[in-house]
Structure 1
Amino acid sequence: MEQARGPVDPVEGAPRRKDTFTSSTIIGAHILQHLYGNGFLVLLPAIYSGMGLVPIQAGLIELVRRLSGGVATMGGGVIVDRMQRRRGPMLVGALALMGVGYLIVGLVPSYYLILIAVGFAGAAGSLWHPPALSLLSQRFPSRRGFVISLHRSAGSIGDSVGPLVAGALLLVISWQLTLQLAFPLTFAAAILVWVAIRHGGEAWRRLGTSEKRTLVDQMRSLGGLFHGWSLTSLLVVAGVRGMADRSLLLFLPLYLGEERGMGSFLIGVHVALLTTLAIVGGPAIGWLSDRIGRKPIIVVNMAISTGIGFLMIMFDQGAALTVLVAGMGFIMFSVNSLTQAGAIDLAEGRGLEGSMIGLLWGSNAAFGAISPLLMGALAGWFGFQIVFLYATVLYAVGTLISLTLPAGIERTRRGNA
């Protein structure tokens, strides 16, 4: 049976130092999850040329990675809400299994085995998000937009450092060995997360509900959130935005390498620029959304992205492109964080935080699974430079849809308090 529970920020219930260490470790571990996730995009051109792939095969690798991650997160979100007191072990397992997945990618010899291993690594890494974001959201409900954006910002550090590290490693070792190094790193991080959760004490381990409810009750409560346009519009905006963002992240390195003859390190620099400024931009945008609302920030963000994408079509090389890539990086992932915060706001009091994160990731995977194949086909016909037009059209469509978002999404949280 569903039981409404208003948000109470419990930070005062535990020593602040324990809160800081535990939350910082969870947020910081997200760096590693993205270090390999985004570094893989720089390894992809080496895999592409080394194995003699065609553009659509490169797109299929990303499709498998995204789809497996979305399916795993969607299912994992439901499980997280049914086992909210077991979220610590789930975080530890997600990191360790992701390392195993990338280790396998670096060991197997054929393209089809790589697809399977990439799917395993993508699924394991994506299982991190429902327990991590639901824990942070419940622990800091009055600062939800900021904390979720901070978690995303940590991911952006990994997104930025990963391509640089991958590009530099490719100068001295193979892409296979680079992927094999994932296992010892993720295993060490998993141990640190386990220690941090225990250090946080009962205040962290007992977050959430211990209420027993059937899966049918849980699904009925989740289904009730679709009565109206609010959740559906958030899912569509997040999905369209994700299609555009992923197309740039996946095909910009291929464009720079195949059509501009850029070396692996400079490709890494550009992919890093696409994410670096989000480290600062994301939390600032999340902080604003906690104060003036999710909708206006999302609409402005989408409109600016459309404008930058249009300029990329006009200036698709040289220093101008480098500056535009950096500008896009400032706002690259903030819409994702805001839709996550908005969805959890809508579900306040239902014990569905993990399910909402899983639903968003599953929806994004459904949208994103189409995008790499479509973009791969377009690149085969028109060349990799078509990525700029493709992304700009999607940003423009997302801007129009974001105008239909209901105002005051976050007031749902306040009304349930």
Structure 2
Amino acid sequence: MSTAEPQSAFKVKGQGTIYLVGLGHASTHWVHAMMIFLFPYIKQDFSLTYTEVGFLSMIMHISALACNVGSGPLVDMSGRRIIFLMLSLIGTGAALFLFGIAQSFLFICLLVSMVGAANNLWHAPGIAFLSETFPKNRGYVLAVHATGANLGDAASPFVAGFLLLILTWQETSMAMSIPVFVALSIITFSLLPREKNPHASSNSKGMNLRDYGSGLANILRTPAIRNLTLVIAVRGMAQVGVVLFVPLYLVDVMMFSPEGQGTTMMLMQVGGMVASMIAGTMSDRVGRRPVVFAGVTATTVVIVAITFISNDLLFIAGVSVLGFVLFAVRPVMQGWMMDLTPRELGGSATSVMFGVQALFGASVPILGGIVADTWGLIEVFYMLAAFMLIANVLMFTLRGEDAEARA
């Protein structure tokens, strides 16, 4: 285990590259958040139940799982990073545009699966690229990367909410695809040359199948990696539920307008943006475990607390706090996983992490839909708090020097 001290975040060289990758990540989440934002309106237009809306979300997570199974090996064995980032932007942008001409529930299902796959295609090359390029500042660079996700998740519903005042939801979807293709152009012209002349610390030659299989088997046999993956997956179940059911609760129960819904979801993500940078940078200094444990515990408490709020303004404030504590630990857990993983297998470790998270998360929309249809939306949040409590308990499996490895 290296004892090298991380550089100050403001002294890290290559800030432009870090923020360009963050911009691309923001674009994929712009699409993901837009799709979630549209669910209440798709529900109304197609007369869907909560369980059927949950089925749509489940399709997204299953397609994400399928993509993660293949993307990690392709990224690590090819040694390519930027090409896969470009493909992710093409897929998400095209899907969002095509929502504008969707006339059947079957086509909606196809587009949702396309978003799930293309959005998750970003993670393996993006996180591996940043992790191997900036190994001593993983907490910081992955915090910037996660902040990009929060930025996309925040801006998308806010902008869409106001566009819906003058456009239909399908016209809004087509208009919202334009920034994705702008980001694709920027990433292509700015980062594609790095594919040909990668950073000296990167693994540009790729791996053969035998070496890849051996390395992957080794990381899967590592107890700390297995346990951390389980914690990430269970915590991710709560995140899936929050992102899906908070918008439905705002529209169906609290009767928020489109711009009110968009503003509330934006504030939740703004809280996440602030928290990600603080938590990620702090974890480079004090270690991953204490930061993650604090965030997971706080999230459990806040999810339960917002169920007792009936006032609109207080609920908006509570959702903002929820975003702060929920999203704070995301880059820290990703950095922790990269700490424990050999550099040349960063893509595959990322795919395993997001793949298991997608597998666990796929059950939440259906379970939540059944709970909402049977007892009500408020009971869904108690279920999500239970998931976070389980993640808290699982944190006790991550103890000792092996679980605190740092590059």
TM class, shorter-length: over 0.9
Match of 2:156 among 150, 158, 162: 162
Q: Provide closer, same or farther for how the CA distance between residues 169 and 139 of structure 1 changes in structure 2, counting only shifts above 3 A.
A: same
- Structure 1 distance, partners of 2:376, 2:259, is 22
Q: Which residue of 1 aligns with 2:22?
A: 27
Residue 209 (str. 1) matches residue 203 (str. 2): yes
Q: Provide closer, same or farther for how the CA distance between residues 353 and 318 of structure 1 changes in structure 2, counting only shifts above 3 A.
A: same
Matches within 5 A, 1:278-293: 278-293=272-287
Instruction: Give the Å deviation of 1:413.
Output: 3.7
Match of 1:262 among 256, 260, 269: 256
Instruction: Give the Å deviation of 1:216.
Output: 3.7
- Structure 2 distance, partners of 1:128, 1:314, is 37
- Structure 2 distance, partners of 1:7, 1:178, is 51
How many residues matched?
404
Q: Which residue of 1 aligns with 2:357?
A: 364
AA matched with 1:70: L
- Structure 1 distance, partners of 2:4, 2:389, is 38
Q: Which residue of 2 aligns with 1:45?
A: 40
- Structure 1 distance, partners of 2:382, 2:316, is 17
Instruction: Give the Å deviation of 1:95.
Output: 0.5
Provide the TM-score with structure 1 as the length reference.
Answer: 0.90
Q: Which residue of 2 aligns with 1:175?
A: 169
Match of 1:220 among 210, 214, 218: 214
Q: Provide closer, same or farther for how the CA distance between residues 332 and 79 of structure 1 changes in structure 2, counting only shifts above 3 A.
A: same
Q: Which residue of 1 aligns with 2:183?
A: 189
Provide the TM-score with structure 2 as the length reference.
Answer: 0.92
C-alpha contact 2:78 2:206 (8 A) present in aligned 1? no
Residue 381 (str. 1) matches residue 374 (str. 2): yes
- Structure 1 distance, partners of 2:86, 2:67, is 16
AA matched with 1:375: G
Residue 393 (str. 1) matches residue 386 (str. 2): yes
C-alpha contact 2:32 2:115 (8 A) present in aligned 1? no
Match of 2:122 among 128, 132, 140: 128
AA matched with 1:58: V
C-alpha contact 1:197 1:204 (8 A) present in aligned 2? no
Instruction: Give the Å deviation of 1:325.
Output: 0.9
C-alpha contact 1:233 1:404 (8 A) present in aligned 2? yes
- Structure 2 distance, partners of 1:343, 1:279, is 20
C-alpha contact 1:7 1:138 (8 A) present in aligned 2? no
Match of 2:296 among 283, 299, 302: 302
Post-superposition CA distance 1:344-376 (Å, at most 9, x none) = 111134x00111111111001001000000000
| Residue identity (%) | 26
- Structure 1 distance, partners of 2:81, 2:4, is 20
Q: Which residue of 2 aligns with 1:63?
A: 58
Deviating more after overlay: 67-76 vs 391-400: 67-76
Question: Secondary structure of the equivalent of 1:171?
Answer: coil
Instruction: Give the Å deviation of 1:99.
Output: 0.9
C-alpha contact 1:96 1:183 (8 A) present in aligned 2? no
Matches within 5 A, 1:93-104: 93-104=87-98
Post-superposition CA distance 1:2-47 (Å, at most 9, x none) = xxx99999x9xxxx88x33332211122221111211222211111
Instruction: Give the Å deviation of 1:215.
Output: 2.2
Instruction: Give the Å deviation of 1:316.
Output: 4.6
Instruction: Give the Å deviation of 1:318.
Output: 2.6
Match of 1:324 among 296, 312, 318: 318
C-alpha contact 1:345 1:409 (8 A) present in aligned 2? no
Instruction: Give the Å deviation of 1:50.
Output: 1.1
C-alpha contact 2:78 2:205 (8 A) present in aligned 1? no
AA matched with 2:303: G
AA matched with 1:310: V
Instruction: Give the Å deviation of 1:105.
Output: 2.5
- Structure 1 distance, partners of 2:329, 2:113, is 25
Match of 1:115 among 87, 99, 109: 109
CA RMSD of the aligned region, Å? 2.5
- Structure 1 distance, partners of 2:314, 2:402, is 38
Q: Provide closer, same or farther for how the CA distance between residues 341 and 107 of structure 1 changes in structure 2, counting only shifts above 3 A.
A: same
- Structure 1 distance, partners of 2:330, 2:18, is 20
Q: Which residue of 1 aligns with 2:234?
A: 240
- Structure 2 distance, partners of 1:321, 1:183, is 30
- Structure 2 distance, partners of 1:182, 1:346, is 38
AA matched with 2:235: R
Instruction: Give the Å deviation of 1:229.
Output: 2.3
Deviating more after overlay: 402-411 vs 92-101: 402-411
Instruction: Give the Å deviation of 1:410.
Output: 7.0
Deviating more after overlay: 33-42 vs 178-187: 178-187
